[in-house]
Amino acid sequence: MHVSKEKLHELIQSKLHKAGLTLEHADGVAEVLVHADARGIHSHGAMRVEYYAERIAKGGINTDPQFHFNQTGPASATFNADNGAGHVAAKEAMDKAIQMAKDSGVGVVGIKHMSHSGSLSYFVKQASQADMIGISVCQSDPMVVPFGGAEPYYGTNPIAFSAPGENDDLITFDMATTVQAWGKILHARSKNEAIPEGWAVDGNGEPTTNPFEVSALLPIAGPKGYGLMMMVDILSGVLLGLPFGKNVSSMYHDLEKGRDLGQLHIVINPLFFTEINTFKQHISQTMKDLNAIKPAPGFDQVYYPGQRSAEREEAYSSDGIEIVDDVYDYLTSDAIHHNAYDHKDPFAK
């Protein structure tokens, strides 16, 4: 099923508004979800709407949050999201970080007490579209076996980065510190497709390609990914005085309660370090240089980070965004939710 970007936004906004969000906040969440789907990151797009709708309807996402921005220094601040829509809070907090970076060269904002905020690439692109460097990290609930361990401790704990080049050039990446994000497992389940070996393990700790047998995810590059997810948890949890590690709230338990998650935005203003036009020229040159590298056997081209997502976004703008039929049927139905997520075991079939 292919749906125009505008129609998908309308369907998502309508569903979340019916669940209880204000039209303004429903619009903000829809913008971030459509961004993900338009770039082919379907694990963080429309397939998440029913989960959000159920949590909103049950009170676990505050429909009337009182956001509070507290600037603690020339380049530092906290943003209390009051367990409102995480996408909206993260967007507003990034705007604040960008403004501080304009004034001080750097802006660091820690977001406290937020709900799930979706694809981090949206927020770092806010910075690069303002001629800044954007970095964002956030914690998530435990579902990753640490290197050498036999039970989950950290979440998929993603990292995102974006920098501006010339004209409309942006170099962006958004990655989980696991081999793949949990949402990719869910997407494979929704399409009844196998996953590549090395993404996850089953209940016995053995590698599996069956998304329905997944019991835990694996960190990228073994101990290196394990170290990165620890760093993210400290920056977005411990640093902000929030629950951390195995104490991070579950996505699917206690849907009537706020999740109290943390996220950290870091914005760097190149103007305070170099000449901005030279910086942007060098970013664009980096992109061209990477594309010009001789590809290895079995590859047609070397892509710079985020390039294929940008190409998918361009293709979808004319052909419509690909959405799983079941997700489309839900979005066009009268149902707010089907009570499918409360106390769900994320690894259950």
The answer to the question of residue 301 being in a domain is: no
The answer to the question of residue 344 being in a domain is: no
- For the chain, how many structural domains are there in total? 1
Look at residue 206 in the predicted model and tell me its pLDDT: 83
Integer CA distances (angstroms), 343 to 105, 106, 253, 332, in order: 44, 41, 4, 26
The answer to the question of residue 348 being in a domain is: no
Going by C-alpha positions, the residue among 102, 56, 106, 120 that lies closest to residue 83 is 56
CATH assignment at residue 123? 3.30.1370.60
Q: Tell me, what DSSP letter sits at residue 296?
A: P
CA separation for the pair 344, 164 (Å, rounded): 41
The answer to the question of residue 303 being in a domain is: no
The answer to the question of residue 125 being in a domain is: yes
CA separation for the pair 130, 76 (Å, rounded): 19
**Annotated active-site residue in 9, 116, 187, 265:** 116
Please give the helix or strand (H or E) that residue 73 lies within, else none: strand 68-73
Structure tokens at 97: 């970080």
Look at residue 173 in the predicted model and tell me its pLDDT: 92
The answer to the question of residue 347 being in a domain is: no
Is 253 among the residues known to form the active site? no
337 and 54 Cβ atoms separated by less than 8 Å? yes
The answer to the question of residue 345 being in a domain is: no
3-state SS string for 206-250 = CECCCHHHCCEECECCCHHHHHHHHHHHHHHCHHHCCCCHHHCCC
Integer CA distances (angstroms), 344 to 63, 218, 250, in order: 23, 21, 10
User: Residue 261: CB partners within 8 Å, gap ≥ 6?
Assistant: 86, 113, 114, 115, 116, 117, 138, 139, 140, 236, 242, 248, 249
CA separation for the pair 130, 161 (Å, rounded): 14
The answer to the question of residue 302 being in a domain is: no
121 and 174 Cβ atoms separated by less than 8 Å? yes
Domain carrying residue 255: 2-275+309-331
Coil, helix or strand at residue 258:
coil
| Spans of the chain below 70 pLDDT | 345-349
CA separation for the pair 314, 291 (Å, rounded): 18
